Structure 1
Amino acid sequence: MTVWDMEIPEKKLFEDNDFPASSTSLFSSYSTPIAKFRGKITWLRPQEISSSPRLFPENPQDGYIKQGLLGDCWFLCACEALHKNRLLLDKVIPSGQDSWIQSGCLRCRFWKFGHWVEVMIDDRLPCIGHRLCFSRCRSEEVFWLPLLEKAYAKYLYVFQRLHGCYEQLWAGQVCEALVDVTGGLADRWSLKSYKQSNEKNARFCFSERSKFELMKDLNDKSFISCSVHGSAKGSSERAEFHAFSITDVKQISGLKGNYVSLLKIRNIWDRQCWNGSWQEGGDGWKKLDPAIATLLQSTAEEGEFWVEEHEFFRDFDEVTVGYPVNMEGHILSLLTGKSLCHARQLSGEWVKGQSAGGCRNNSSFCSNPKFWLRILDPGEVVIAILQMRHDSSSKNGKAFWSENAAVHCQNNEEWLTTDILHQKRYRAIGLHVWKVEKKRFNLQKTVAKAPTISTECHTYDREVKLHCDLTPGYYLVIPSTFMKDEDGHFLLRAFSTSKISLSVVKAAHPLTQFEENSEGEWEIMQFTDSWINGKSAGGSRNFPTYNTNPHLPFSILSDTGAGNVRITLCQENFDGQFLPIGFHVYQVHSGKNLNQASPQLLEPVVTCVPHRYTQEMTQLCTLPTGNYEIIPSTYLPNSEAQFTVTVETKIDRKPFQCQEILGQTVNEVSYTSVMQR
């Protein structure tokens, strides 16, 4: 027998034991309509489905996305962003995998909590009758989409700690999937109600008219999706609770000289489902020149339809917009198009009994995690807080639907259970930001004031964002849950057009005497001055030049009891060497001036001596109503340094009472019935 007569064993293709070709990878609780296909689904490889399978199409139209039996329109709409931007697609499905057919496996990547994670799958796909039963591309020879859909189902198991399977993809938020496949940001706009959330953030609140203008501007730069949550006048029954993609936005001159604003929308079922005035043969086209109307209708691909602006805002409920990403991989502002090229991120945690202080309605709010955001130059900033789902495992393997999503599925009540209805994916979270002075500020007084910018209310979204213009300085950022003592992990991200830094506010030291007596509201006054040789560096009271030291006036306006004043002297440190410093406080009586008297001959009401070689000295004291002056000094005359004196005075005023509100639960978007073929 020659070598040519020997049988060469066929190379065994990869089989993924972590996500096997079995019902465990299809169902978690048989709680969705695809459960009716139990026992009918088989697993086939691309070469068993198509005679010439390939990963990506040569003609982009062959890669168009089509939805199958699975209610994952939210994820597939996010995949439209990848189909539109090859740079993003190459990040999610890395290049260099030309031999995937020969190996039977594919590597995909998803963004999770601040970094990209890799998921490896085999290429066995669910089929019914030798055809893909879930997602597929327009050309059934192209397989990037069904393979990515499978990888995402496995991703839920490996990295989200759920019972990862296809059934877990039923119902979800487009914005969440967009973040998972791009690593960027996405905004959701309600089309049914508009409310300005913050006067200081008015520039970033916009009307329906400006929303349309913004969509028109973003159409070529970003991905835009829209969705219907309930019954719509222009929709057929099958289009309810469904997500679509917006493929074009135009303003065209009408026959009456006015502008007609149109949006072209694509249904990923790849078939018409809209019966509005701009359907084929509808009355809407009579507003345009017949030649223009014919041209526009000819540009509509299969599954696409045109909707006029007023019809769009009337019949659709929500828009999701992904932040554009440039060739350098930087996120662009939705509003100005500027590159948010400076980005920082830090993770944090709310811990019950320690750092889960709840919203500002709770006295424990200050115990929440705190961060410093430093803005070096004026710029546009986006601050986002992304939470990790708090239910790390499902109860009895039940599917993770929000209550609203389950209630929406009116045609499938037999699949719903009480356990599913009460599953909640996320905490209600919010974000507050105050501009403060670094290290020298009163936390209780600061958070009692209105924040520089904040979320309108705490919401059950996975991620909430603030979009603002900020001036240089330090900002205190506090993310919180609505209820106190709710555990959770989160990621704080900041994107800016200017240089920024993000750091954790260090935990407080053990309570000092002042902190133990610091209940109530405090007013803070700061003086910044210098000891200058020959002018204002008079030295201690032992020297005749003492009176030339700076005199810093303050007043006590009401009697607020013992321990009502705290005075801190802090000298600047440039070379690690400290001067011996101290201070005295004198009461100034009516008609008298310490500059005209000799303070050495007066008895101070407060002394903070002996002079010490330290950067900071603090004295808690009790002072009655009246006028006072502080004289800070070095021990020896003509010793030069800059210094800051902080006077904290307890005031007799009720603290600011906040009444924060809780937002509604998130509406999950998916269609309610399986398409009948």
Structure 2
Amino acid sequence: MPASDLYQKLEQSWQTKGRTGSLQSPQKFNNQDFTHLRDYCLSRGLLFEDDTFPAHVSSIGPNLLSEDKLSRLQWKRPMMIERNPHLIVDGVSRFDIIQGEIGDCWVLAALGSLTLQRQFLENVLPKDQGFKENYAGIFHFRFWHFGDWVDVVIDDRLPFLNGRYLSVQPRSRNEFWPSLLEKAYAKLRGSYQNLHWGYISDALVDLTGGVQVQFLLQKPPSDLQEIIKAAAKSQCLMGCTMPGGQSIGKMELKNGLVKGHAYTVTGATEIPYKNGWEDIIRVWNPWGHGEWRGPWSDGSPQWDRVPAEYKKDLCEDKDDGEFWMSGHAFAEQFFSLCICNNTPSFLDFGDQRGTRWSLAMYVNQWARGLTAGGSAFSRNPQYFVQVEEPDLKNYNVVVSLIRKPVNNMPDAQILFTGFLIFRVSSIRWYGVAFFSQYKYKVLKYGFNVSTRDVTNYFYLSPGTYVVVPTTSEEGQEAEFLLRIFLRQAELFQNGFQDIFRRVEGTGSGFLDISDLKNAVQRAGLAVNGQLLHLTALRYSDSSMRICLPDFVCCMIRLETMASKSCSWLARVLWGSQNMENMGLHCINHISQYP
């Protein structure tokens, strides 16, 4: 492919990728436009009926209920249930949620965590809807779906069985955000049946667009308590699961916990106790009741030996499903902990002042005969990461591999996936001869579970590494999304702010894209013209202007790449085996979260 054609293809791909699937411009799921559909219904005095997710057993799924129960299902709008329905009553809270008949505790535990972090909640639950003004029986919610934000439209007909909610039940009879949001998520996943059993890690990522890291608690990291407290301080979403698996069902133990159940982690702190300090963790049950009965539970004797001011702030004796327990008991009783945020900021242990996380994101596929998988992984796509900061001793790289479900059906294909990480001397294509010499000298993660999301964190010493996503067996096909987060020192932000103010000059708060070259020169950076143009497209808005936060991100990225000059583009493209996907590999490498 000639260089000019490749550059044009890069620019077209960049513009397409930058204009759809964002929070500002989400993709329309099933090509349904909420505003147009609502206006149409209002102009004709109709209540919206969603033909793509109808009030029919097809939206429930064939195996969730018996034929007898399916025949007795009723679909009711909130207006048929309550005289004065509301989407939200007195704000959104985890205590609005009570789990229904469907085994979707993993979804509701994630929702419970979402309610604690308003910056994420407002992304999922748009404010332009309700039961008063412009009500037409239509609502919409937003989810992150395989790399893009999508807007999911639903009608407000909810399934009832024997007069009771089939799915989540709101604690307040006239508050309907939990039931409607759950219905939208069921539509995204294909049916209510596809919410019956799942992984809280999937739901947390779908509600935030963030990255999740799981910790198995049979062999927890030695700094687990510090990680949990840092995650709480960093406003992460957290959930945990009990051992037992999906076949156990709702079996409650003598200590009050439930086998195979998902919970929300809602807080973590240390408290003065006896002659020292005790780490305690707060947990919430999405049933809305049923609590831990061991030490630090509601009314337990441990609270009698805590200073009154701590006890007053922390201990509430209510049967609302929320309870405290010690950090030791938490690790002993639960099977896994999941932490999710925009970036792996909790790995900074709550101190983000001197660091930032950059993100490289790639979409590709394993194709039979081209990218073999299994032991023939040398033919798989290869992605490179350069660790440049020798003074960082904490975890500095997070790799997240997400497999796209076939036809959006979670159980349509059992596929074990993972990734390999090799240290290399330079950025180029590596063949089978190179990989055969490594044998066991490699970082390897995944392959032992069929989860959608395989993510892990590492400390990598300075150098160049290649990440190879692969399947466990040769010939397996699927699309995948690979994200690589790199922790870097924040050295230049204040200087870049000064440059912005000098170049901008007008007081508008924006920098014209035409002035970016001047700013780059003031910073003393030597950047190839084509790369500068591509980067400017990435960080500008639809009016081709750049605000201060995006300018800082842009300049930090350019500073990182400046030493590689124009050869950087060619070296990154060398990492792609499929020439048609070159544009996406290069473009997404520049994405960044400061």
SS in 2 for 1:219: helix
1:249 paired with 2:268, answer yes
1:259 to 267, 277, 284: 277
Residues 441, 276 of structure 1: alpha-carbon distance in 2 compared, 3 angstrom cutoff: closer
Q: For 2:347 and 2:154, how far apart are their aligned partners in 1?
A: 35
> 1:222 Cα shift?
1.3
Q: For 2:81 and 2:408, how far apart are their aligned partners in 1?
A: 35
Task: Please give the residue correspondences for 1:66-465 in structure 2 after superposition, counting only pairs within 5 Å.
Answer: 66-98=98-130, 102-128=135-161, 132-156=165-189, 164-194=190-220, 206-207=221-222, 210-220=223-233, 221-230=235-244, 234-236=254-256, 239-255=258-274, 257-288=275-306, 292-293=310-311, 296-298=314-316, 302-323=320-341, 325=342, 332-337=345-350, 338=352, 340-358=356-374, 362=375, 364-375=376-387, 380-389=396-405, 391-392=406-407, 424-439=413-428, 444-445=433-434, 448-449=437-438, 454-460=443-449, 461-465=451-455
> 1:168 Cα shift?
1.5
Letter in 2 for 1:248: G
1:41 to 48, 69, 73: 73
Residues 372, 447 of structure 1: alpha-carbon distance in 2 compared, 3 angstrom cutoff: farther
> 1:121 Cα shift?
0.7
Q: For 1:307 and 1:86, how far apart are their aligned partners in 2?
A: 25
SS in 2 for 1:249: strand
Letter in 2 for 1:242: H
1:485 paired with 2:444, answer no
Task: Please give the residue correspondences for 1:550-561 in structure 2 after superposition, counting only pairs within 5 Å.
Answer: none
SS in 1 for 2:315: helix
Q: For 1:508 and 1:122, how far apart are their aligned partners in 2?
A: 42
Q: For 2:422 and 2:279, how far apart are their aligned partners in 1?
A: 38
Q: Provide the identity percentage.
A: 27
Residues 353, 286 of structure 1: alpha-carbon distance in 2 compared, 3 angstrom cutoff: same
2:113·2:237 contact (CA, 8 Å) conserved in 1?
A: yes
Q: For 2:445 and 2:243, how far apart are their aligned partners in 1?
A: 23
1:413-433: per-residue Cα shift (whole Å, max 9, x none)? xxxxxxxxxx75432323323
2:94·2:113 contact (CA, 8 Å) conserved in 1?
A: no
SS in 2 for 1:342: strand
Letter in 2 for 1:467: Y
Q: For 2:101 and 2:203, how far apart are their aligned partners in 1?
A: 19
TM-score, scaled relative to structure 1: 0.59
Q: For 1:113 and 1:508, how far apart are their aligned partners in 2?
A: 21
Q: For 1:284 and 1:384, how far apart are their aligned partners in 2?
A: 40
Residues 233, 39 of structure 1: alpha-carbon distance in 2 compared, 3 angstrom cutoff: closer
TM-score, scaled relative to structure 2: 0.66
Q: For 1:374 and 1:132, how far apart are their aligned partners in 2?
A: 52
Larger Rg: 1
Structure 2: state its 5+ residue gaps.
1-41, 245-250, 489-556, 562-571, 580-594
> 1:454 Cα shift?
2.2
Q: For 1:374 and 1:130, how far apart are their aligned partners in 2?
A: 59
Letter in 2 for 1:492: L
SS in 2 for 1:217: helix
Letter in 1 for 2:362: L
> 1:462 Cα shift?
1.7
Q: For 1:183 and 1:270, how far apart are their aligned partners in 2?
A: 26
> 1:183 Cα shift?
0.8
Q: For 1:37 and 1:129, how far apart are their aligned partners in 2?
A: 9
Q: For 1:36 and 1:277, how far apart are their aligned partners in 2?
A: 45
Q: Could you say which structure has the higher strand fraction? A: 1
Residues 503, 84 of structure 1: alpha-carbon distance in 2 compared, 3 angstrom cutoff: farther
Letter in 1 for 2:175: V
Task: Please give the residue correspondences for 1:484-563 in structure 2 after superposition, counting only pairs within 5 Å.
Answer: 484-498=474-488, 499=557, 503=573, 505-507=575-577
2:427·2:574 contact (CA, 8 Å) conserved in 1?
A: no
Letter in 2 for 1:192: Q
Task: Please give the residue correspondences for 1:591-610 in structure 2 after superposition, counting only pairs within 5 Å.
Answer: none
> 1:341 Cα shift?
4.3
Q: For 2:164 and 2:63, how far apart are their aligned partners in 1?
A: 25
> 1:174 Cα shift?
0.3
> 1:331 Cα shift?
5.7
Residues 62, 483 of structure 1: alpha-carbon distance in 2 compared, 3 angstrom cutoff: closer
Residues 148, 84 of structure 1: alpha-carbon distance in 2 compared, 3 angstrom cutoff: same
Q: For 2:254 and 2:225, how far apart are their aligned partners in 1?
A: 19
Letter in 2 for 1:70: I
1:488-538: per-residue Cα shift (whole Å, max 9, x none)? 2111112224447865624499xxxxxxxxxxxxxxxxxxxxxxxxxxxxx
Residues 66, 508 of structure 1: alpha-carbon distance in 2 compared, 3 angstrom cutoff: closer
Q: Could you say which structure has the higher helix fraction? A: 2
Structure 1: state its 5+ residue gaps.
1-7, 157-163, 195-205, 395-399, 402-422, 510-677
Question: How many residue pairs are counted as aligned between the two chains?
Answer: 442
Residues 235, 134 of structure 1: alpha-carbon distance in 2 compared, 3 angstrom cutoff: farther
1:19 paired with 2:32, answer no
Q: For 1:90 and 1:65, how far apart are their aligned partners in 2?
A: 18
Residues 110, 447 of structure 1: alpha-carbon distance in 2 compared, 3 angstrom cutoff: farther
> 1:74 Cα shift?
0.4
1:135·1:146 contact (CA, 8 Å) conserved in 2?
A: yes
Q: For 1:507 and 1:349, how far apart are their aligned partners in 2?
A: 11
RMSD value, Cα: 3.3
Q: For 1:287 and 1:191, how far apart are their aligned partners in 2?
A: 28
